């Protein structure tokens, strides 16, 4: 029994048209060395993905629609940082090689991107669990790994690390990044 929900054929054509319209407004996640400078109402969104599944795309909706594509992801978490408009966002759905995964509607998938800051929102983990001879399910969660995000920014974006505010803006409250950065900057 999979937890996947395969897109119903009746809706697939409509979805494809919608996706075609949206494609033009999507922005892909940009490699670290190609980060664009921030505009007045922009911020950097930072998250990582950890999975052994083949990811086709990850859709984020909100102030702007974002589409993340990654093929053949390794077991190591991949960090991605992108410039986007400040505002509220949420993960809407994920597609793997086996189809669309519907995210649990009882779980909080929302986050905020703050202006002139790096907004770290967590690590998207997609894990397969085999719990019987013929059954497995996928567990999808957004894990808070703020300490690792700090280390990543410090190593890969040293200028930003020293100049921009860094905050955790994923689900739930967490003061650790601000606490650590305040002491760091003292």
Which residues of this chain interact with other proteins, rule CB under 8 A? 1, 104, 106-109, 122, 125, 130, 132-135, 139, 141-148, 150-151, 170-176, 179-180, 183-184
Task: Identify which of residues 114 and 141 has a Cβ nearer to other proteins in the complex.
Answer: 141
Least distance between other proteins and beta carbon 116 (Å): 25
Rounded distance between C-alpha atoms, residue 176 and residue 145, angstroms: 10
Q: Is there a contact between 5 and 58 (Cβ–Cβ < 8 Å)? A: no
Least distance between other proteins and beta carbon 97 (Å): 16
Task: Identify which of residues 116 and 154 has a Cβ nearer to other proteins in the complex.
Answer: 154
Least distance between other proteins and beta carbon 141 (Å): 4
Q: Kindly give the interhelix angle for 146-156 and 176-185, rounded to the nearest 10 degrees.
A: 40
> Among residues 22, 1, 21, which one has the least CA distance to residue 130?
1
Rounded distance between C-alpha atoms, residue 19 and residue 59, angstroms: 11
Least distance between other proteins and beta carbon 181 (Å): 10
> Among residues 75, 173, 69, which one has the least CA distance to residue 121?
173
Task: Identify which of residues 24 and 134 has a Cβ nearer to other proteins in the complex.
Answer: 134
Task: Identify which of residues 84 and 144 has a Cβ nearer to other proteins in the complex.
Answer: 144
Structure tokens at 172: 């739930």
Least distance between other proteins and beta carbon 66 (Å): 18
Task: Return the SS3 of 183.
Answer: helix
Helical spans, DSSP H, in 60-175: 146-156, 158-163
Task: Identify which of residues 41 and 147 has a Cβ nearer to other proteins in the complex.
Answer: 147
Structure tokens at 181: 């950065």
């Amino acid at each position: 029994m999979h937890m996947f929900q395969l897109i119903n054929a009746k809706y697939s054509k409509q979805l494809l048209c919608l996706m075609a319209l949206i494609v033009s407004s999507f922005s892909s996640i940009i490699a670290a060395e190609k980060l664009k400078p921030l505009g007045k109402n922009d911020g950097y969104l930072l998250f990582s993905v950890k999975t052994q599944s083949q990811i086709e795309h990850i859709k984020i909706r909100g102030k702007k629609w974002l589409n993340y594509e990654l093929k053949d992801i390794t077991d190591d978490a991949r960090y991605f940082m992108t410039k986007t408009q400040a505002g509220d966002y949420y993960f809407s759905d994920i597609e793997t090689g086996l189809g669309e995964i519907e995210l649990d509607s009882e779980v909080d998938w929302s986050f905020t991107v703050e202006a002139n800051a790096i907004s770290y929102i967590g690590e998207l983990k997609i894990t397969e669990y085999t719990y019987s001879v013929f059954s497995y399910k996928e567990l999808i969660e957004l894990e808070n790994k703020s300490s690792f995000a700090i280390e990543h920014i410090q190593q890969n974006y040293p200028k930003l690390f020293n100049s921009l505010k860094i905050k955790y803006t994923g689900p739930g409250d967490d003061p650790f990044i601000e606490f650590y950065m305040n002491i760091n900057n003292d």
